[in-house]
Chain A
Amino acid sequence: MSQSVIRLLTLALLVCISVSCRSGSSASGQNTPEPAKPPGKIRVVFKYQPLGSEPEPLRDLLADFERANPDIEVMTEVLPNASDVVHQYFLTSLEGKSREFDVFIADVVWIPEFARAGWISDISDALPPEVIKRDFLPGAAEAVIVQGKTYGAPWYVDAGLLYYRTDLVPRAPKTYEELIEFAKAARAKDPSLYGYVWQGRQYEGLVCNAYEALWGHGGKTMDNTRVLVDTKEGRAAMSYMRRLFTEGISPPSVTSAGEEDARHVFQQGRAVFMRNWPYCWGEAQKDGSPIKGKVGITTLPTVDGSPGHGALGGWQLALNANTPSWRREAALKLMTYLTSLQSGVKLAIAYGRNPSRKAAYQDADLRKSAPFVADLLPVLENAKPRPVTPYYGMLSDVLQSEFSAVVSGIRTPEASLDRAQKLLDHVTQGGS
């Protein structure tokens, strides 16, 4: 009997110790002393998502960096290729004050959120905001500058584009009416064709498509700091998206389609138009692709025919706020190296990723080896970021379901946008 009491007490004690240790380390993490620099090379840990199926070009690039900086060693860790999953990973490990990595990639919409949370370092000393604004594409620059300070280095950029079949339409459509008219004409000749495929599933891709329609109808993303969706332009944009289904321009399958679903249909030659990211170009032009040589790209259409704004995508490099000071300089060197002009050109040629620096688009090598990448400059210059706000995660969660309600015909644009606006105001004004 007494033995079991002793056992019980020992166990309880052990549990208390382990619990208090854990809570202690997470609560007072900020005050724990920085780990001292171990002897030898400075080891910088870099977390990234695969850029393409071939790891070699990036590896060569990092090997060059190590040769130029013999005192630095770069360790790489590959992240899963799913933005949501990676976001959750950073959410928990950065809040837990992890020091296990230094430089990491961040999606374009995360920077304000991470900066506000104090998870990423202000790197204005290495890349001042003026330099960012001068050298990088405008959308990418806007995405990394938070309250006048630089919180990330734009690595490569992406933007939504319109793909069209040069053999099925007379020319690239400039307005929504033209797109609908061309799609109808092509479908009249061949009813098995779909008109326009895009991303309508309830996920982030739908938010991008909806913002593109909003901008195309003259809408604004924000009014000062308030995220505005329930506006005249917003309602017009949503009505247009719903109209694509009611008039048979977009097939019902679009309401559950992501990027790859849309691409498969378009690539098989079954659709006249597609909204997607630049990566589809390489796939469309591959040998054996049924649409090789029959595809054109252009900016997204608008109401008035001016070039439309694609949603800005792409990835930035950010610096973990908990990186010890003795590792900071090496980490910054790696970030500036990876986002330099030469690196941008190399990655563009190897992976078709669009460089974030303007000057890369004048580069002779790039123009020769990857002309498609170079030709995208006007689209990228015109790309706009989704709302730049630390509330983005919450906002997107609300918008995804309300936009989905419109495209799948559950609620009218008016009802959905009214709900969305109320929820957004509630979220950003401090309710939970």
Chain B
Amino acid sequence: MVAPAVVILLVVAFYPIVATMWLSLHRMILVFHEEQFIGLGNYAFLLSDPRFWSALRNTAYFAAVAVAIELVLGLGFALLLNAAFPGRSLLRASILIPWAIPTVVSAKLWAWLFNPEYGLLTRMLPGQDVNWLGMPGYAMHAAILVDVWKTTPFVALLLLAGLQTIPQDIYKAAQVDGAGTLRQFFSITLPLLRNTIVVTLIFRTLDASRVFDAVYVLTEGGPANTTETLSIYAYKTLMRVGDFGYGSTLSVVTFLCVMGISLGYLKVLGVERGKGRA
């Protein structure tokens, strides 16, 4: 029964990847019915394409900042939810609401909150002249804020699951030995949570590196492509321009970046074999 599963996996997972790689070696523009094998020509162009480098920078910045904030906030929430207090199960359920709302819906909702004329967020700020989605610098951070709002609950949930696997006896023993809360956190919680944190980091970084929907709905990559991520650039090239060759090249490079990140994590943070596999 393993063999059919392998075949299905080959067809579903590998065929599109291989096909995209093959396409990326072509100059292929739908409108002109052009299809010409150009080897690594697209990749050579990519290296000298400033728009690619800016998209790469944007993606890296978005992923790094968003994931860092999510991890810190998520850990805070997880510790909070792990403590016993009345109404805990209600809070545990309600914290998941942002995660449950479809991204496009929540992005649209935030776009209204950011609206420079009517948006609640703009109204609350003094001066009222902050145009979140139209000003360079601000737009990217607005997108990060939306991502943090949406995925912190997910991070919290993953970390909470990890926290609950830590035996309470260890804490009791530590208390007997006179370790304070802070010491317990750094000497027990963090080391024992290490694998969970690595898995969470991988999950979130991969997700954030191919971010598309939230940013696209908020800004479509504007102003002046300052929020254009690799996925948005690839999408525009493929679907709006109809340049399947270069669009595929961008997709392949995104894929390679994502793969590189996950390998890097595994190498640097080193999940113990067999223990922390996602």
Contact in complex: A117, B117 (CB < 8 Å): no
Contact with A along B133-168 (1 / 0, CB 8 A): 111100000000000000000000000000000000
Q: Are A15 and B7 in contact (CB under 8 A)?
A: yes
Given contacts A8-B4, A253-B116, contact A394 B220 (CB under 8 A): no
Known: A252-B135, A253-B117, A397-B236. A7 touches B3 (CB 8 A): yes
Among B1-53, those with CB < 8 Å from A are 1-4, 7-8, 11, 15, 27, 29-33, 41-42, 45, 51
Nearest residue, chain A, Cβ from B245: A432
Bound state CA distance, A246 and B136, in angstroms? 16
- In the complex, A202 Cα to B116 Cα: how many Å? 16
Evaluate whether A113 and B31 lie within 8 angstroms (CB atoms) in the complex, with A12-B7, A408-B136 already known.
yes
From A87-95, A286-294, A343-351, the one touching the partner chain is A87-95
Asked if B65 is at the interface of the complex by the 8 Å CB criterion, the answer is no
Q: Does A401 touch B at the CB level, under 8 Å?
A: yes
Question: Considering only CB atoms, which chain B residue lies closest to A112 in the complex?
Answer: B31
B243 → chain A closest CB, angstroms:
6
Which residues of B have CB within 8 Å of A397? 236, 240-241
Residues A373-425 near B (CB distance < 8 A): 390, 393-394, 397, 400-402, 404-405, 407-411
- In the complex, the answer to whether A402 meets B117 with C-beta atoms within 8 Å is no
Shortest B218–chain A CB gap in Å is: 10
Note all chain B residues with C-beta closer than 8 A to A405. Answer: 223-225
Task: Note all chain B residues with C-beta closer than 8 A to A68.
Answer: none
Q: Are A408 and B129 in contact, with the CB atoms below 8 A?
A: no
Q: Please, which residues of chain B bring their CB within 8 A of the CB of A432?
A: 27, 29, 41-42, 45, 243, 245-246
A88 to B116, CA, bound (A): 30
Q: Is the CB of A116 within 8 A of B31?
A: yes
Contact size class for B? 35 or more
User: A261-B117, A405-B223 are contacts. A200–B134 as well, Cβ < 8 Å?
Assistant: yes
Question: Which residue of B is nearest A203, CB measured?
Answer: B220
Contact A402/B223 with A116-B31, A200-B134 known, Cβ cut-off 8 Å: no
Option from B51, B131, B242 in Cβ contact (under 8 Å) with A256: B131
Whether A393 pairs with B3 at a CB distance below 8 angstroms is no
Chain A nearest CB, measured from B134 CB (Å): 3
Q: A431 within 8 Å of B by Cβ?
A: yes
A8 touches B224 (CB 8 A): no
- By the criterion CB–CB under 8 Å, are A411 and B7 in contact? no
A98 CB to nearest chain B CB (Å): 14
Q: Hey, which chain A residues are within 8 Å of B51, CB to CB?
A: 401
- B221 near A: Cβ within 8 Å? yes
Smallest beta-carbon distance A301→chain B, Å: 24
Interface string of B219-239 (1 = CB under 8 A from A): 111111110100000001001
Whether the pair B116, A404 counts as a contact (CB closer than 8 A) is no
Q: Which residues of A contact B27 (CB under 8 A)?
A: 432
Residues from chain A with a CB closer than 8 A to the CB of B33 are 117-118
The answer to whether residues A404 and B222 also contact, given A15-B7, A117-B33, A252-B116 and a CB cut-off of 8 A, is: yes
A-side binding surface: helix, strand, loop or mixed? Answer: helix
Question: With A and B bound together, what is the CA distance between A398 and B41 in angstroms?
Answer: 21
Output the least CB separation between B3 and chain A (Å): 4
> What CA separation (Å) do A393 and B29 show in the bound complex?
11
B242-259 vs A, Cβ < 8 Å mask (1 yes, 0 no): 110110000000000000
**In the complex, are the beta carbons of A408 and B135 less than 8 A apart?**
yes
Q: Which residues of A contact B135 (CB under 8 A)?
A: 252, 255, 408
Interface centre among B29, B42, B246 (most CB of A within 10 A): B29
Of all chain B residues, the one with the shortest Cβ separation from A94 is B30
In the complex, chain A residues whose CB is within 8 Å of the CB of B30: 91, 95, 117
Cβ-closest chain B residue relative to A411: B224
How far, in angstroms, from A8 to B9 measured CA to CA in the complex? 12
Contact call B31/A393, Cβ cutoff below 8 A: yes
Q: Which of B136, B239, B246 contacts A88 (CB 8 A)?
A: B239
Q: Which of B29, B31, B224, B246 contacts A410 (CB 8 A)?
A: B224
Q: Is the CB of B241 within 8 A of A202?
A: no
Report how far A88 CA is from B31 CA in the complex, Å.
Answer: 12
Q: Mark A68-106, 1 if CB is under 8 A from B, else 0.
A: 000000000000000010011001000100000000000
Tell me the smallest distance from the CB of A35 to a CB of chain B, in Å: 23
What residue in chain B is nearest A431 (Cβ atoms)? B45
Shortest CB-to-CB span from B86 to chain A, Å, is 44
Which residue of A is nearest B46, CB measured?
A: A432
Cα distance A84–B236 when bound, in Å? 10
CB-defined contacts of B2 to chain A, threshold 8 Å: 4
Can you name the residue of chain A whose Cβ is closest to the Cβ of B246? A432
How many Å from the CB of B255 to the closest CB on chain A?
Answer: 19
CA distance A96 to B217 in the complex (A): 28
The one of A7, A8, A116, A256 in contact with B116, judged by C-beta atoms closer than 8 angstroms, is A256
A11 on interface, CB distance cutoff 8 Å:
yes
Whole-angstrom distance between the alpha carbons of A408 and B219 in the complex?
A: 13
Interchain CB contact under 8 A, A394 and B243: yes
Q: Are the C-beta atoms of A252 and B239 separated by less than 8 Å?
A: no
- In the complex, what distance in Å separates the CA atom of A432 from the CA atom of B49? 11
Q: Which of B107-141 contact A (CB under 8 A)?
A: 115-118, 129, 131-136
The 9 closest A-B pairs by CB, nearest first: A202-B222, A256-B134, A253-B116, A255-B134, A405-B224, A408-B223, A8-B3, A404-B224, A252-B131
Sample of 15 further A-B pairs with CB below 8 A, known A11-B4, A256-B134, A405-B225: A4-B2, A4-B4, A11-B7, A201-B220, A252-B134, A256-B222, A257-B116, A264-B117, A265-B117, A393-B241, A394-B241, A397-B236, A401-B221, A408-B224, A432-B245
**Listed A/B pairs (12) with beta-carbon separation below 8 Å:** A4-B3, A88-B240, A117-B32, A252-B135, A254-B134, A255-B131, A256-B131, A256-B133, A397-B240, A401-B222, A407-B223, A408-B134
